[in-house]
Amino acid sequence: MKHLVTRRPGTSGSKTQQSAQGNFQVIKKILIANRGEIAVRIVRACAEMGIRSVAVYSDADRHALHVKRADEAHSIGAEPLAGYLNPRKLVNLAVETGCDALHPGYGFLSENAELADICAERGVKFIGPSAEVIRRMGDKTEARRSMIKAGVPVTPGTEGNVADIAEALTEGDRIGYPVMLKATSGGGGRGIRRCNSREELEHAFPRVISEATKAFGSAQVFLEKCIVNPKHIEAQILGDSFGNVVHLFERDCSIQRRNQKLIEIAPSPQLTPEQRAYIGDLSVRAAKAVGYENAGTVEFLLAEGEVYFMEMNTRVQVEHTITEEITGIDIVREQIRIASGLPLSVKQEDIQHRGFALQFRINAEDPKNNFLPSFGKITRYYAPGGPGVRTDTAIYTGYTIPPFYDSMCLKLVVWALTWEEAMDRGLRALDDMRLQGVKTTAAYYQEILRNPEFRSGQFNTSFVESHPELTNYSIKRKPEELALAIAAAIAAHAGL
Q: Which residues contact 7 (CB under 8 A, 6 or more apart)?
A: 71
357 C-beta neighbours (distance < 10 Å), count: 28
What per-residue confidence (pLDDT) applies to 18? Answer: 39
* Architecture per CATH, 156-225: 2-Layer Sandwich (3.30)
Give CA separation, 98 vs 31, 64, 212, 220, 368, in Å.
9, 23, 36, 39, 48
What per-residue confidence (pLDDT) applies to 4? Answer: 41
The answer to whether the CB of 445 falls within 8 A of the CB of 262 is yes
How far apart CA 473 and CA 431 sit, in angstroms, is: 14
Number of C-alpha atoms within 13 angstroms, CB side, residue 201? 28
What per-residue confidence (pLDDT) applies to 478? Answer: 62
Give the dihedral of Cα atoms 473, 477, 481, 487; nearest 10 deg: 70
The answer to whether the CB of 301 falls within 8 A of the CB of 232 is yes
- Mutual orientation of helices 36-49 and 331-339 as an angle, nearest 10°? 70
Pick the CATH number of 2-127 from 3.40.50.2300, 3.40.50.20, 3.10.20.30, 2.20.28.160: 3.40.50.20
Q: Which residues pair with 373 in a beta bridge?
A: 365
Name the residue type at position 99.
Answer: C
5 C-beta neighbours (distance < 10 Å), count: 12
With b meaning 16 or more CB within 10 Å and e meaning fewer, what string describes 203-237? Answer: ebbeebbebbeeebebbbbbbbbbbeebbbbbbbb
Q: How far apart are the first and last CA of the chain?
A: 28
| Cα angle for residues 31, 37, 40 (degrees, 5° grid) | 45
- Break the chain into its structural domains and give their ranges: 2-127, 156-225, 231-480
Residue by residue, pLDDT tens for the chain (496 residues) are 344 433 433 333 333 333 344 567 899 999 999 999 999 999 999 999 999 999 999 999 999 999 999 999 999 999 999 999 999 999 999 999 999 999 999 999 999 999 999 999 999 999 999 999 999 998 888 999 999 999 999 999 998 899 999 999 999 999 999 999 999 877 666 789 999 999 999 999 999 999 888 877 788 999 999 999 999 999 999 999 999 999 999 999 999 999 899 999 999 999 999 999 999 999 999 999 999 999 999 999 999 989 999 999 999 999 999 999 999 999 999 999 999 999 999 999 999 999 999 999 999 999 999 999 999 999 999 999 999 999 999 999 999 999 999 999 999 999 999 999 999 999 999 999 999 999 999 999 999 999 999 999 999 999 999 999 999 998 776 655 655 655 655 655 555 4
Q: Which residues contact 167 (CB under 8 A, 6 or more apart)?
A: none
How far apart CA 259 and CA 248 sit, in angstroms, is: 23
What per-residue confidence (pLDDT) applies to 178? Answer: 96
How far apart CA 353 and CA 345 sit, in angstroms, is: 16
Q: What is the 3-state secondary structure (H, E, C) of the chain?
A: CEECCCCCCCCCCCHHHHHCCCCCCCCCEEEECCCHHHHHHHHHHHHHHCCEEEEEECHHHCCCHHHHHCCEEEECCCCCCCHHHCHHHHHHHHHHCCCCEEECCCCCCCCCHHHHHHHHHHCCEECCCCHHHHHHHHCHHHHHHHHHHHCCCECCECCCCECCHHHHHHHHHHHCCCEEEEEEEEECCEEEEEECCHHHHHHHHHHHHHHHHHHHCCCCEEEEECCCCCEEEEEEEEECCCCCEEEEEEEEEEEEECCEEEEEEECCCCCCHHHHHHHHHHHHHHHHHCCCCEEEEEEEEEECCEEEEEEEECCCCCCHHHHHHHHCCCHHHHHHHHHCCCCCCCCHHHCCCCCEEEEEEEECEEHHHCCEECCEECCEEECCCCCCEEEEECCCCCCEECCCCCCEEEEEEEEECCHHHHHHHHHHHHHHCEEECCCCCHHHHHHHHHCHHHHCCCCCCCHHHHCHHHHCCCCCCCHHHHHHHHHHHHHHHHCC
Number of C-alpha atoms within 13 angstroms, CB side, residue 105? 23
Q: What is the CA 413 to chain-centroid distance, rounded? A: 14
What per-residue confidence (pLDDT) applies to 492? Answer: 55
With respect to CATH, is domain 231-480 assigned 3.30.470.20? Answer: yes
pTM summary value: 0.89
- C-alpha torsion sign, points 85, 91, 96, 97: positive
With b meaning 16 or more CB within 10 Å and e meaning fewer, what string describes 364-391? Answer: bbbbeeebebbeeebbebebbeeebbbb
Q: Which residues contact 314 (CB under 8 A, 6 or more apart)?
A: 110, 111, 128, 129, 133, 134, 137, 138, 292, 296
Question: Which residues are catalytic, by number?
Answer: 315
What per-residue confidence (pLDDT) applies to 318? Answer: 98
